[in-house]
Amino acid sequence: MAKEIYRYRFARSVSLRDVEETLFLSVLAAESLSGQSRVRMDAAYCMDDAQQACVIDASTKVGRDIGRIFTGFAIREFGEDSFHVERVEAMPKAPAKEVAPC
């Protein structure tokens, strides 16, 4: 079964710092739904600066929640045309920057 991993690639005009902060806010919202320990155990995500991207593993319920929340926040904050989402086969390898314990 293929993993559900999504790469959100952002336009160069979008600040990656703002994307990272939006990701953190999405994780915080997911903690409100599932609890901090469940998010710590089941979430995997990272920033991929080289690709101007954020990658979220949505193969768990928590990951799907983070992905849906992040997508909604990104549309509102950056605009529908500022990024696109694609399914990928695996989480990026170094030099991607992890923003949480995975």
Q: What is the pLDDT of residues 3-24, one digit of tens each?
A: 799 999 999 999 999 999 999 9
CA distances from 93 to 49, 65, 89 (A): 12, 23, 12
**Mean pLDDT in the chain?**
90
Give residue 102's pLDDT. 40
**pLDDT reading at 85 higher than 60:** yes
pLDDT per residue over 44-76, tens digit each? Answer: 999 999 899 999 999 999 999 999 999 999 999
Hey, what long-range contacts does 70-74 have (CB within 8 A, 24 or more apart)?
Answer: 70/8, 70/22, 70/23, 70/26, 71/8, 73/22, 73/25, 73/26, 74/8, 74/19, 74/22
Confidence class of residue 97 from pLDDT cuts 50, 70 and 90? low
